[in-house]
Amino acid sequence: MATIRLTMAQALVRYLCAQRTNVDGADVALFAGVFAIFGHGNVAGLGEALFAAREAMPTYRPHNEQAMAHAAIAYAKASKRRRMMVCTTSIGPGATNMVTAAAVAHVNRLPVLFLPGDIFANRRPDPVLQQLEDFADPTVSANDCFRPVSRYWDRIVRPEQLITSLPKALDVLTDPALCGPVTLALPQDVQTEAFDYPEAFFRPRMRGLRRIGADEAELSAAAERLARAERPLIVAGGGVHYSLATETLAAFAGRHAIPVAETQAGKGALAWDHPSAAGAIGVTGSSAANTLAAEADVVLAVGTRLGDFTTASRSLFADPGLTLIQLNVQPHDAVKHAGLPVVGDAMRGLDALDARLGDWRASEAWAARARELIAAWNQVVERATAPTNAALPTDAQVLGAANRCASANGVVVCAAGGLPGELHKLWRTPAPGGYHLEYGYSCMGYEIAGGLGVKMADPDREVFVLLGDGSYLMMNSEIATSVLLGMKLVIVVLDNHGFGCIDRLQAACGGASFNNLFATSHGAGEVPGIDFAAHAASLGAGSEKVSGIGELEAALARAKASDKTYVIVIETDPKAATKEGGAWWDVAVPEVSGRAEVRSARADYTAATARQRIEG
């Protein structure tokens, strides 16, 4: 058996470089690159290996470990999980800074490979700088924090362990059912140790899309129930995108006259003006989709984990005789809510159901009901997003201006606060890939870094990042990285002087405005007058502050014409949100309070919980 002598780090990088995938008929590297912030735990071993492989696997220098991982996650999402990236840090705070992002990837079922440096396996210099010491277990390090937020976790304490661990890691990263983050903790001494690896270990390997076919009995049961449906509804989730099944879904819905509602991850599965497109569903949903969901007798959920925002905390599907059919590649999701499971790939599952349904179509009365509701909702969107002369525009009016500017080639990126709700309801997506929201973990700080990842995945598209001042203050460093890499973003900062979304939620639960807006926060100093435009300029971006929608639209045109990242700041109304659409969300209200407002909110809460469906 032919062998080649390499350090563990060199073997790791060589193996990753050998992994291939097919994108639109082209044979490309599975790993598009590495985000690396070097320190004493990875610069000598892995850093030297990455330098040698820099042509085959480029290494990018970001500014924050959590942010670089967000960019990697966004890259994988924008690539429909066909390609992915690696993130490496030193031991200690560099590693634990990535734990939050690992949770983002875990919740959203997105692939990213984390390679944190680790303490010495030989323990000779213990305790080393940044080493966390467990008094009862010397094998524990800070990297154990990655265990609950990784789909696969290992610590490589001997160079030859790569031979068994790497193939398992890659299977998790590329399997549609298991997909999620992988962590391989790399002790800094082991990174530099050599082993005689089999040359065959480094042969190129094509990683294709595994399409799991559904069980025949499950398909037959689902098709039989659909064929008896009087008021069917499809709920499209992120799995539709990852299965590349958007065209299949559009054809299926049109052929069988079934309206389609979309989750945050599923939004854009249908073009917004497709005849079957009922819009967003759930807490942040359209009145059209939510009314259809309440009236439906059969719901076909495709590629969604049915989180609480989608189901209005299990209160949305109101028909007592409802049948829920769950088409999902992951059995864990397919059996939720006591539904009929159809475990399989979204595209294959829809094709199989289509063949069984033949010429069956939903009733014309149901189709007419859907058309009426959709038309009414489209009028709501027009009103909510129309330009205004108000001194403090609403979030909806700002996103309306951005949506008009974005055109068919634009991608909107967002993650947390009030904007995701407004975007889910109101943003019009003309084609798949134009809507990118991280709302599984709703992680503040994802936005700008995520925009960078989206731009790296598809440089020809114009990327619009919308975020509040709270998220900007939390994580803005990758503006500088976008300038460094020449990856232009259009960033719109909506400044409502605090956490406006949670201030509104606080009020809805009967609470007084407290500790969310700057004006109602405790402090002996003055309310800060933050110059976000000046700050963005200091990071290398073009920037300006505008007042009102007219100035915003002119600034957006300048931003599109710019050749580098451009930041626009606009003050907005912290109290305003689109009242139309939406649904109840289970946020527990105190049973006992001295405030009459809280007691009233508790009464409403108790009444609302009575509508929750208690299934599996």
The model's pLDDT over 104-124, given as tens digits with 9 standing for 90+, comes to 999 999 999 999 999 999 999
pLDDT at residue 615 greater than cutoff 90:
no
Q: Among the CATH numbers 3.20.20.70, 3.20.20.10, 3.40.50.970, 3.40.50.300, which is that of 386-571?
A: 3.40.50.970
| pLDDT for res 187 | 98
Distance CA 314, CA 206 (A): 41
What are the φ/ψ torsions at residue 300 (nearest 5 degrees)? -100, 105
The model's pLDDT over 130-142, given as tens digits with 9 standing for 90+, comes to 999 999 999 999 9
What is the average pLDDT across 160-169?
98
616 pLDDT band, cuts 50/70/90, is: low
Report yes or no: 88 and 117 within 8 Å, Cβ to Cβ. Answer: yes
Burial of 5 (C-beta count, 10 Å sphere; 0-12/13-18/19+): exposed
Domain ranges of the chain: 3-206, 216-377, 386-571
b (16+ CB within 10 A) / e for 603-612:
eebeebeeee
What is the average pLDDT across 328-340?
94
| pLDDT for res 459 | 97
Pairing of strands 182-187, 435-437: unpaired
460 pLDDT band, cuts 50/70/90, is: very high
Q: Which residues contact 496 (CB under 8 A, 6 or more apart)?
A: 468, 469, 517, 571, 572, 573, 574
| pLDDT for res 613 | 85
pLDDT at residue 407 greater than cutoff 80:
yes
Distance CA 301, CA 370 (A): 18
Pairing of strands 26-29, 19-23: antiparallel
The model's pLDDT over 13-36, given as tens digits with 9 standing for 90+, comes to 999 999 999 999 999 999 999 999
pLDDT at residue 276 greater than cutoff 70:
yes
The residue whose two tokens read 């976000």 is 532
The model's pLDDT over 193-222, given as tens digits with 9 standing for 90+, comes to 999 999 999 999 999 999 999 999 999 999
H-helix segments, 201-272 = 216-227, 238-242, 246-256
Topology (CATH level 3) of domain 3-206: Rossmann fold (3.40.50)
Nearest 5°: CA angle at 557, between 553 and 563? Answer: 145
The model's pLDDT over 569-597, given as tens digits with 9 standing for 90+, comes to 999 988 888 999 999 999 999 999 999 99
Q: Does domain 216-377 have CATH number 3.90.320.10?
A: no
Preceding omega of 127 cis (within 30 degrees of 0):
yes
Distance CA 329, CA 345 (A): 5
524 pLDDT band, cuts 50/70/90, is: low
What is the average pLDDT across 339-360?
97
Domains 216-377 and 386-571 share a fold: yes
